[in-house]
Amino acid sequence: MYSGINKPEHLDDVVFKESKASKSSNEWSWVNPKHGQFEHPANYYESSLEDWHCFDALHSDQACDVVVIGGGLLGASTALHLAEQGVDTILVEKNRVGSAASGRNGGQLTPGLARWEAEEMIKRFSYEDAKKLWHFTSTEAMSLIDQIAEKYDVNLARKHGHITAAVHEGHLVGLTQSADARKYLGEDHTCVVGEYELKELISSDLYKGGLIDNLGGHIHPLALNRALVHGFAKHGGQVFEQTEVSFISEQADGIYVHTASGVIKARKSVVIAVHHNAFKLLQEKKQTAIPFHTYIAVTAPLERPLTELLPQDHPVYDTQLQIDYYRGVSKNRLLFGGQGTGTSWTASRMNQYLLGRISKVFPQLENVEMDFCWSGVSDLTMNGATDNRKFGAKFPIYAVHGWSGHGVAQTVRIGKAIADDFSGVNTDYEMLTKIQHSDILFGRLLAPIAIPMSKGWYGVTGMLNPGKMVSF
């Protein structure tokens, strides 16, 4: 087994290097050429951690109680919590642990179920059900990450608190309503501030006020992903990387997970914890999510101290249609993300766009250079909530997708909910499966057209009613 797998360890800054992950056709990574020429450079997260364990690929048939497909945050969390309950579990990943969205996202810890926040839950459910769902996706999700960090003694670069900054005075109404809804559901970690008070936290003239949330915060997502797998290995779990699942088949004695180099018999259950292949593996014609591309960059060390820009080190995201989000990272660098597109933009185009956005938010910065820029792929549902499914007559098959670019903490919490459902501990996951989702006809094929059309429509409505808060 792998009980000796190291914890993730942070570097003082970064080492520019090739990524240990295989290059994906859906994503790209770029580093400033002055730091070297790389065929597939590591992104900032991988570059800021010590080199970590590479697991072997599957080369023989195996058997276990549960097979988890996907080594991102959802798969790693599910595998860890199953292993903690004594369930014999195998985790397979087609690339490397954390190589996709789980290790490439913005790292913000925000409450809610994808794009569902407290107000949406109150509209759709009874008070008690809304309260249960909100705490599942907020207080419980954040607490679980802190518990994992303490239990396995791992440094996740966890910081507490974040800000939603209003780009229009009218958006303060929506933020106030959001804070009120959260208090109504028994969670009181927010306060709304005006323009002048916010300037003490964000040195920018762009905002009219904002909501300060002391529940969320930010984290190093790849460190979190590796920490989950570290914990899983400590409990004797097996991990196979570079092992892509081609199909699954249910038989009388279990579910068979087929790969190019071996078959794994799952005696009791399978968990499908992947974005892009979920519908194929499920042989499901109803498609409830479509993909979109997102982008993040990290600057070279800034000439001004980060404390001049973000005096209390809050991560920020704003309320414009195409949101900006940013936070400080190691050695006085600024991580800055934005845009969501139906087709992949190039690195040069994204560098130009994000440098322009940084200049807009912080015009006092001069000579800003990018050291890293990378793309990622997320997926969204029609109603904005994650699609949580449970299939199978004799053996349960679990699948989750539709994160809409949100949900680091909730992903970890849902992984625990799947493990608890499998073991009969509680009905938390059943609560999630009751949320209804619409089929998106030809959704994945139409994403390059549907996403810019939707953004265009929201852009027009935003110009007609600029005080209405709509973010993509």
Residue 458 binned pLDDT confidence (cut-offs 50, 70, 90): very low
The answer to whether the beta carbons of residues 397 and 272 sit under 8 Å apart is yes
Residue ranges covered by each domain of the chain: 47-158+219-287+385-440, 160-216+289-381+441-471
| CA distances to 97, 351, 352, 447, 460 from 46, in Å | 11, 19, 23, 29, 39
Average pLDDT over residues 393-403: 91
What's residue 404's pLDDT?
A: 80
pLDDT grade, residue 464 (50/70/90)?
very low
From residue 120, how far is each of 123, 134, 148, 385, 468 by CA, in Å?
A: 5, 10, 29, 10, 16
pLDDT digits (tens, 9 = 90+) for 327-341: 999 999 999 999 888
Query: Rounded to an integer, what distance in angstroms lies between the CA atom of residue 472 and that of residue 469?
Result: 10
Q: Which CATH class is domain 160-216+289-381+441-471?
A: alpha beta
355 pLDDT exceeds 70? Answer: yes
25-48: per-residue pLDDT in tens? 889 999 999 999 999 999 999 999
Reading phi first (left if > 0) and then psi (alpha if -120 to 50, else beta), residue 442 is in: left
At 194 the pLDDT is 97
Tens digit of pLDDT for each residue in 36-95? 999 999 999 999 999 999 999 999 999 999 999 999 999 999 999 999 999 999 999 999
User: pLDDT, tens digit, for every residue of 235-292?
Assistant: 999 999 999 999 999 999 999 999 999 999 999 999 999 976 666 787 666 788 888 8
- Give the per-residue pLDDT at 288: 86
pLDDT at 457: 47
- Please give the pLDDT value at position 119: 97
Average pLDDT across the chain, whole number = 92
CATH 3.50.50.60 fits 47-158+219-287+385-440, yes or no: yes
pLDDT at 432 over 80: yes
